[in-house]
Chain A
Amino acid sequence: MRRIGIVLAAAGLISVAGAGVAYTDSIDWGTYQVGDKRSGYTYAQPETRAMQDDDFENPGFLLMDQAATLWETPDGAAGKACVGCHGDVESLAGVGATYPVYFEPWGKMMTVEQRINQCRTEGMKADPWKWESDEMLGMTALVKHQSRGMPVNVSIDGPAKPFYEKGEAFYYERRGQLDLACANCHMDNAGLQLRANTLSQGMPNGFPTYRLKWQKVGSLHRRLRGCNDQVRAEPYERGSDEYVNLELFIMHRANGLPVETPAVRN
């Protein structure tokens, strides 16, 4: 049967699902589009974009305000606060745009969330924050927000390269009962309607993101789990090597797009 299938594949001129159709539209998206790369902002509804554009309307700022307080509040046995080592949070401008980065002591990649917990457990002698806690989401957003408007600038050179390749392999590997790879939706069919939703290129330059569907700010890894669930695949844990490497691949894919944290999406 398999052999017949291959013969059919060669003869199968009628494609079952249409190949990617170029999405054209006349709007000038400014910095939200760099060449063929398009931020999720450009696929969002006008009301959603307006919500992101107005810092007073954007619910992501609420968590960041709380994180700004935490930045100055000592925690843990060492009695330290973030501000003691880093000074004003503005000193981190540009830093969030480069993550994930290779972290020598671990011999692997590190996300902003992991960097924060590394500071907490090693520097402050404090308990680590849970990945999806308000504290972690707020602090991650606050750190990345310092790079808002700066181009994503993730390096995949040197020691990062094998981890990038793992993330790339994940991106193209079909999974789940629906047998879909990330690339099937976000590369081949971006811009097309999937029922009521417009498929985006899956650019992660706005995380942590306030999602209307969640009514909450959420992490990139939460979103990745959601994607895996939707294709009926077994998701990985937040902070797993698999998702960190995938984050590296898709963040590098977004290189040049502006950091938008905290973005607003549907």
Chain B
Amino acid sequence: MRKRPLLTAVALPLALVLAPALGAGGAAAEELVAYEVVEGAIPASLTGVPGDPEAGKAAAVHRQKGNCLACHAMPIPDQPFHGEVGPDLSAVGSYLSEGELRLRLVDSKKINPETSMPGFYKVEGLHRVAEKFRGKPILTAQEVEDVVAYLLTLKGN
């Protein structure tokens, strides 16, 4: 009996460590690049390959990829109908750092659990993902880097 609390104390953190691994993605989940969150940011590149702003812009516009315009206004005048759900991103590169942008793309709920914004590089902790998308992040690690690189170019007027 006296050992019980000790056992619980050991088992609980273990369960917390295992729980994400056993989430919606399960064994079929693609291996995502591990990353470290430091003070509201993911300072290190996910791939080590510098992001390409032009490719990032394309991924941001693409409706099956970033689809950022669904919710955000961006300085892309040739695209009609920019969304209003999220903040205007026209100057986002002037007030958020590369690492802060990366964390917001990867898993914005680590900053604000109530946000509507999807985690674009995340496969765990999701519910009833359609089979076609199960175990897959919305963007690849390099696409995240590309979009980060593009957003950093947005400095407003």
Contacts and interface: CB of A to CB of B under 8 A. Distances in A.
Say which size band chain A's interface belongs to.
Answer: 35 or more
B2 interface: no
A206 B109 CA distance: 35
B87 A232 contact: no
B86 A179 contact: no
B130 A232 contact: yes
Contacts of A229: 130
B118 A180 contact: yes
Given A173-B127, A174-B127, A177-B138, A196 B40 contact: no
Nearest to A236: B128
Contacts of A21: 84
B126 A179 contact: yes
A9 B110 contact: yes
Task: State the main secondary structure of chain B at its contact with A.
Answer: loop
B119 A195 contact: no
A195 B81 contact: yes
24 contacts: A5-B111, A8-B37, A9-B111, A11-B40, A12-B112, A15-B112, A15-B115, A17-B85, A17-B108, A17-B112, A17-B115, A18-B86, A175-B126, A175-B127, A176-B127, A176-B128, A176-B130, A179-B127, A184-B116, A193-B84, A194-B70, A195-B81, A233-B128, A233-B129
Interface of B: 16, 20, 36-40, 69-71, 80-87, 96, 104, 107-113, 115-119, 122, 126-133, 136, 138
Q: Which 10 residue pairs spanning A and B have beta carbons closest together?
A: A5-B110, A196-B81, A12-B111, A16-B108, A17-B86, A177-B133, A192-B84, A16-B115, A193-B84, A17-B117
